[in-house]
Amino acid sequence: MVPYEYFDLLVIFIHHMDIYQKAAITLQEYLELHTTLDTYTCITDYYSEVLSVFVQEVKDTWQANDKTWCSAHLDYHFVMSMHNSAVTIKFSLG
C-alpha cells in the first residue's frame, strides 16, 4: 500500500524512471554511444535504488493513520531535482 500523500509523487517518479529505462534500452543498439548508455543506465539504477528504499521505508515505518509520515528518500529526491541538485544554506534556512 502507498501512503495517499505520496501517490502522485510516486506516479511521477515511476514515469521518470520508465523514460530513463527505455532510453537505456534503445541506446544499447548504438555501440558508439556507450558513454551515453552508461549515463542512462546509472540514472535508471539510481531510480531503482530510491524506489527500493522508499518501499522499505513504507514497510518499516508507515502507519495508515499517521498523516504526518514522510519519506526521507523520496522527499530528498524531489527537493534535489527541483533545486538544481543543490540545497544551499539559504534554502535550508527558509
Which domain does 58 fall in, by range? 4-93
Encode the chain (94 residues) as per-residue pLDDT tens digits. Answer: 788 888 898 999 999 999 999 999 998 888 888 888 888 899 999 999 999 999 999 999 998 888 888 898 888 888 887 776 666 666 665 5
Give residue 87's pLDDT. Answer: 61
Give residue 1's pLDDT. Answer: 77
Give residue 66's pLDDT. Answer: 81
Q: Is 5 helix (H, G, I), strand (E, B) or coil?
A: helix
Question: What is the number of domains present in the chain?
Answer: 1
What is the model's pTM? 0.77
